[in-house]
Structure 1
């Protein structure tokens, strides 16, 4: 609703100040830029003053961007004045909109179903504040902790101390907001269980450690005086994630056409090294959500039985690699057939590198958060790969880098990884 109000207001301002030819497109672009600044995400504490700095900043960015694109002749002084005027108008909209929403929350009998993870003093203060401040719109359904404070036990709120998966608790209670407070349980214990909730329709907030010492920024939320960090959810929940699949298809199709001569020449060279062996090497790998698929590569080594290649982590390359194999591996030309995997949807251009089922089963049992890296499609190249984590390198570090990529995904991060990958190829540092 707030986005629609902003869209109407911005469209009216543009119609008043400029030529109406691009009014709709400019209005959509303006609101889209505001959206990238998190100005339309759901909030617990509704305060127009809290979002004012971010609102002004992104309004100025949007105004200058539209001036550069649609009306470059506009004087800078006038553009800045228009940006300030639009920001003031949107601020007034938020004063009234947030006021109405707070009043509605106070009257509502059914509010946002909330779970608090943790049972200490901070958790109790959050529970107490949620009950006293009805304009927060929170209805705490359950506190999850295996050793909660007596005050929480006496509050009448359901306490789950069974150590069940958080996803199961969220689904059972129909939770819409999860707040992670302090607990006697180590923080690392909650990372993977919370990641399992990525595709659920709930928002996750985390109380930062040493929050009394932490500066509460405008992109944080708060309950009483306790700051909350809004956890960015799995990228696939966002509308712009679908652009990644379109990007993958476009790049894969273009690249296949562009490197067709290289593909043909490589296929011929591989065939001539051993006419009785297959040109394309197929091997089962594990993709998104643990789904197996056949990965394609140019054969670069002398074939061995699948029972050996599927479980041999560091094969004896010296005795199996010929001159052609060494060259296509060093230049990563052997990876080019995976463009077909991308086109089929098995892989993405950028993502965690896929591994063989035998080793996935091993690593999931011994490496923390390794299973979490399968939340997204695997890729031709990735954040771990361009940071040197390929071949015989630390699996723990790979998992950390892959999960960092997933948590911080953006279109720019993909572009950055692709640029760095080209740099590695030009330096000849392929596997």
Structure 2
């Protein structure tokens, strides 16, 4: 029994999107033609612009329904909504320009169209943020619930239930479990809650009649695969959504990708957003722009640091180059300001820096604590060895060691290493757990987005560049 309110919410979202677009039109008209803030030539009549704004709104709503943008998104992140909004509005503007060309409306102000696009995105993004935040608060209070029934009370089913209970803002409530093997009456979960085992798998038809269920989650072991067909048929007959958690869940990333090959569905075990050329292109473009800006802004600091190093430690170079492992396991020379006394070749490649390390210079200790020693890495970014955001690169000696000791350690080399990363922005810098860092790195690799990069850079700036774990 799918909630009828979902259809109402979809229509409400579309209606408010249209209202936001028309409000953006009024604001853009005022800014461009009535405020006196922007120079303009004599505009077309107001009714012309109003007509085209309505057509633009209709196009964007049509595109939204075409790409299922107005379907339920309680499981989707806000970043997903923003990205899809940007895509829809850019395509809508291009289609509107095409319509204007066909109807020979060549006198429409181009600067007005850009202003209209930006305001439309700002209005719709802001209201959707308010809507998503409000719905999350409402769901946390127990309203707007959706009810799920879990088939399988074993490890997999309990793991899903525990994860779901950790996110009350999603608004899901567990009706209970069905299980053929388990003889218990209740299942105790980590939160202290207990959920009832309502019966066996064959009781599914009766359970769906007696209980309000929106989604059935199949969390059965592989040896129960033969039952899937019957379960899905019962759910579809009752109008209930069916979702399957594969029993090989532990081998899959957090966001597995389903592909198609030779007419057969396949699960891509490690889907990486940066495998797509479009994503790599925009990330690289951002890296070049950001690194150039960072070099320009910090150039006086880098010059002063170089002079200070030469004055306090005249023996040895200003820039310390060290081999690191980067994209696709290729090595490169990473640049840092020298913070240690000159050591025999190769010695620094196989030793960790420890607290009160005698190899450090006095200035070097300060540079490490403030992360100023890493400023030259913006040149690594510019040259393509590194990215602004990504997993931190390690020395080949330790990579060989960690790949044998830490599961999935080598996955981090599927993308360019970074100056900062999701792990570092969460305090995992210097002398901290390598296993914990890898978990954060894998999450970043599998969930990369441009907004995620911005969030990491912002967190790094807000948290400060000081590193109490840096020796």
| TM-score, normalising length: structure 1 | 0.55
CA offset at residue 304 of structure 1?
A: 1.5
**What residue number does 1:191 align with?**
252
CA contact (8 A) 2:258 2:265 kept: no
Task: Pick the aligned partner of 1:235 from 273, 293, 317.
Answer: 273
CA offset at residue 69 of structure 1?
A: 5.6
Distance 1:258 1:403 in 2: 32
1:365-392 deviation digits (Å, cap 9, x = unpaired): 1111111122211100001112222222
Alignment pair present for 1:425 and 2:464? yes
Task: Pick the aligned partner of 1:181 from 246, 259, 277.
Answer: 246
Alignment pair present for 1:121 and 2:224? yes
Alignment pair present for 1:324 and 2:334? no
CA contact (8 A) 2:391 2:420 kept: yes
**What residue number does 1:102 align with?**
none
- Aligned residue pairs: how many? 289
| Structure 1 residues 292 and 28, CA gap change in structure 2 (3 angstroms) | farther
Equivalent runs, 1:60-99 vs 2, <5 Å: 70=116
Equivalent runs, 1:199-348 vs 2, <5 Å: 233-238=271-276, 239-315=278-354, 317-348=356-387
Distance 1:299 1:64 in 2: 49
**What residue number does 1:385 align with?**
424
In structure 2, runs of 5+ residues without a counterpart are: 1-17, 23-46, 93-112, 128-220, 237-243
CA contact (8 A) 1:270 1:299 kept: yes
CA offset at residue 198 of structure 1?
A: 7.4
RMSD: 4.9
CA offset at residue 400 of structure 1?
A: 0.6
| TM-score, normalising length: structure 2 | 0.50
| Structure 1 residues 28 and 411, CA gap change in structure 2 (3 angstroms) | farther
Equivalent runs, 1:38-57 vs 2, <5 Å: 39=68, 52-53=71-72
| Structure 1 residues 423 and 319, CA gap change in structure 2 (3 angstroms) | same
CA offset at residue 313 of structure 1?
A: 2.3
CA contact (8 A) 1:180 1:204 kept: no
1:295 counterpart SS class: strand
CA contact (8 A) 2:390 2:417 kept: yes
1:284 counterpart SS class: strand
2:407 counterpart SS class: coil
1:208-247 deviation digits (Å, cap 9, x = unpaired): xxxxxxxxxxxxxxxxxxxxxx999311244344211111
CA offset at residue 122 of structure 1?
A: 2.7
- The structure whose Rg is larger is 2
Distance 1:428 1:336 in 2: 14
Task: Pick the aligned partner of 1:360 from 399, 404, 407.
Answer: 399
Distance 2:274 2:226 in 1: 30
